[in-house]
């Protein structure tokens, strides 16, 4: 049986979290390596593309969070087999990656620069992408984005909405996303209450 080791930051969220949930859903035992930011800094140059998450399978390292999500999602039954439904799923995953890209650009800013950047994000790209994702949820049937069931697209959306709604991002009010796209807030709750997600977090206690 292959051995698996997932390396990401030491928090429940970000690009690594959907992969953790999918690995657990697939019944795959894996080493959950959680780096502090200093750990990441010390090891970054040894990583392909100098980024995490990485997934080692029998000692061979693989990267790119969306590729890993699809790979593990297929093993967990969380990725559509139908080509069109797979496209639906991939479209959401790609849009969420774009959101992450724009949000990360504001990291490291301080004071007025951070305030201005986050306000510009809310009035610009973040609103555009959240409204677009809201449309994709409607297209998928209103409950899930693709295949009328939980997929990796829903896991990635759940993690993103949870972050935006946490109140931990300076100058982005906790109710910003839920007021803008209430259907996505309802989706977040739906995914959080799904048996697969509940089982993962129960295993973390």
Q: Which residue has the tokens 């809310």?
A: 122
Range of the domain at 145: 83-194
35 plus 108 within the same structural domain:
no
Domain boundary among 27, 45, 77: 77
> Could you say which residues of the chain have pLDDT below 70?
none
Q: What is the pLDDT of residue 202?
A: 97
Q: What is the pLDDT of residue 94?
A: 97
First-last CA distance in the chain: 26
Backbone angles phi, psi at 87, to 5 degrees: -65, -45
138 plus 178 within the same structural domain:
yes
Closest by CA to 114, choosing from 169, 179, 166, 178, is 169
72 plus 87 within the same structural domain:
no
Digit-coded pLDDT (tens) for 168-203? 999 999 999 999 999 999 999 999 999 999 999 999
Q: What is the pLDDT of residue 186?
A: 98
* Residue 199 belongs to a domain: no
């Amino acid at each position: 049986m292959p051995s698996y080791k997932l390396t990401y930051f030491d928090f429940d969220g970000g690009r690594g979290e959907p992969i953790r949930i999918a690995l657990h859903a697939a019944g795959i035992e894996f080493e959950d390596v959680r780096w502090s930011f200093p750990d990441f800094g010390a090891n970054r140059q040894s990583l392909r593309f100098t980024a995490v998450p990485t997934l080692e399978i029998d000692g061979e390292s693989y990267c790119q969070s969306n590729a890993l999500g699809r790979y593990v999602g297929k093993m967990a039954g969380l990725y559509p087999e139908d080509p069109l439904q797979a496209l639906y799923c991939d479209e959401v995953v790609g849009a969420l990656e774009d959101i992450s890209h724009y949000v990360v650009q504001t990291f490291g800013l301080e004071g007025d620069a951070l305030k201005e950047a986050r306000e510009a994000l809310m009035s610009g790209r973040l609103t555009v992408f959240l409204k677009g994702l809201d449309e994709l949820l409607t297209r998928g049937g209103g409950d899930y984005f693709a295949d009328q069931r939980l997929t990796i697209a829903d896991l990635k959306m759940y993690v993103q909405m949870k972050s935006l709604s946490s109140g931990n991002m300076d100058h982005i009010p906790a109710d910003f996303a839920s007021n803008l796209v209430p259907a996505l807030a309802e989706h977040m709750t739906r995914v959080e209450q799904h048996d697969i997600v509940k089982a993962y977090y129960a295993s973390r206690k």
